[in-house]
Amino acid sequence: MSLDNVLNEIHMKGQQEVTKVIQEGQREAEKIKTEAQTKLKELEDSKQKETADKIKQLRVQELSIAELDAKKNVLNMQKELLEELRKQILTKLQELPADKNQEYLKVLIDRVQNEFTTGKIYCNSNDEAFVKSNSKFQFGGTIDCIGGVLVENDDGSINMDFTFENILDEAWKDVMKDLSKLLFKLP
């Protein structure tokens, strides 16, 4: 065999080796590329799921905050409505016709006279003459109230506050829950 043939054969085998290495390199590169694309897809999917979960969580939080704000606003409005109702009741009590006011005063005076035998009675300046003439108690003076009476025993240690404001305050506490249920359809 001649030197040219040997060289040709070595060259051909070298070419085959180069082709084989190139093909293996291409297959390896393709394999690496496929693995990288798979990992990239998995990472993208994971990030999309994570982002979707965060968005869902934020939506739930925002909705909760909005619901709390709405409830707070509703409660504030309810409170304002109830306070307005209370003011209207006091106004109506203050504007009672004289005969109705005197009827209420008589009931209150009689009730107090069942509790105390002696003492001082107080009322607003508009009701002074009626209270003086319809009570067995010593008149103690006028007080700042829209109506009703306040009576204290002789030493001033015990008093019974039957002013319209106090009666309304006591009744308000007792009926507030039921009133709220009725007005605002609470459970």
C-alpha–C-alpha distance, residues 180 and 169, integer Å: 15
**Is the confidence at residue 79, as pLDDT, over 90?**
no
Q: Is 32 within a domain?
A: no
pTM across the whole model = 0.61
Euclidean distance between CA atoms 21 and 74, whole angstroms: 77
Q: Is residue 58 part of a domain?
A: no
- Give domain status of residue 35, yes or no: no
Provide the CATH number for the domain around residue 135. 3.30.2320.30
For residue 33, the tally of other CB atoms under 10 A from its CB is 10
Q: Is residue 104 part of a domain?
A: yes
| Banded pLDDT at 183 (limits 50, 70, 90) | low
172, pLDDT greater than 60: yes
Total domains in the fold of the chain: 1
Return all residues near 139 (Cβ < 8 A) that are at least 6 apart.
120, 121, 122, 128, 131, 132
* Confidence band for 186, pLDDT divided at 50, 70 and 90: low
Residue 152 lies in a domain: yes
Residue 49 falls within a domain, yes or no?
no
Find how far residue 165's CA is from the centre of its chain. Answer: 29
Scan for tokens 């993208």, then name that residue.
44
Largest CA distance in the chain: 153
125 is a domain residue = yes
**87-91, 128-132, 163-167, 180-184: the lowest-pLDDT one:** 180-184
- Tell me the per-residue pLDDT of 111-152, one tens digit each, with 9 for 90 and over: 998 888 899 999 999 999 999 999 999 999 999 999 999 999
At residue 53, φ and ψ (nearest 5 deg) are -65, -40
Sole residue written with tokens 């009689």: 110
Does residue 177 belong to any structural domain of this protein?
yes
Domain of residue 107 covers 96-184
